[in-house]
Amino acid sequence: MKFAVIVFPGSNCDIDMYHAIKDELGEEVEYVWHTETDLSQFDGVLIPGGFSYGDYLRCGAMANQSNIMAEVKKAAAAGKPVLGVCNGFQILTEAGLLPGALLRNRDLKFMCRTVQLKVENNNTLFTNHYEEGQVINIPIAHGEGNYYCDEETLAKLQANNQIVFTYSGDNPNGSLEDIAGIVNEQGNVLGMMPHPERAVDELVGGADGLELFKSIVKQWRENHVNN
């Protein structure tokens, strides 16, 4: 399976994402600069965290205007897995690929620590290596991770089982219903604030995040290799 790691001016988790795929997962991966206009050669798209365009205007707003986002939308429409982490989640909401928005943290402070997540839905291409209800340890590092949407959108997310991860125990940023990650209705676009790419090796505090990337590859192989 071949992944694209999208790189914007200000991305700072692209190397972590590349390492997770190449060195820990053992799959193909390439950096793709935001000015590129073709993602057809890739099987999956990863939008890393950071501060794209310095978070000017709104987090992710300027990145959404980049050339590459038209291709990300094409990949999503084609059913390819698209993962946006932290700033990547913010970009996906700005692009309309996921509903809602990310607001300033409740305490108006940047937060960087490991938190516990509950796997609310393990029946997605991103979570099939987890157990439903499993609690995992994943780092966070954000100042605008407070997920918000209106009541109608929340009802749809709940009815369609689109809430994939919630914060377990402590909600670090005040996000609505403890939401930490959601998928689109089709289930192939995931946005999450915590960083699974920073939890792929026991040497750096744990490998709970690696199972997310294994899930993507497992689903892709079942759909493309075994048929």
- Give the number of domains in the chain: 1
pLDDT of residue 227: 57
197 is an active site residue: yes
152 is an active site residue: no
Q: Looking at 27, 120, 144, 197, which residue is catalytic?
A: 197
pLDDT of residue 38: 97
Per residue in 157-207, pLDDT (tens digit) is 999 999 999 999 999 999 999 999 999 999 999 999 999 999 999 988 899
195 is an active site residue: yes
Angle (CA) 29-183-117 rounded to 5° is 85
pLDDT of residue 226: 59
Mean pLDDT (10-residue bins), the chain, 227 residues: 97 97 97 97 98 92 96 98 98 98 96 97 97 97 97 98 96 97 98 98 93 96 77
CA distance 58 to 41: 31
Q: Looking at 34, 142, 195, 211, which residue is catalytic?
A: 195
Q: Looking at 13, 59, 86, 149, which residue is catalytic?
A: 86
Per DSSP, 21 falls in state I
Tokens representing 55? Answer: 């978070």
CATH number at residue 202: 3.40.50.880
Residue 67's domain spans which residues?
Answer: 2-224
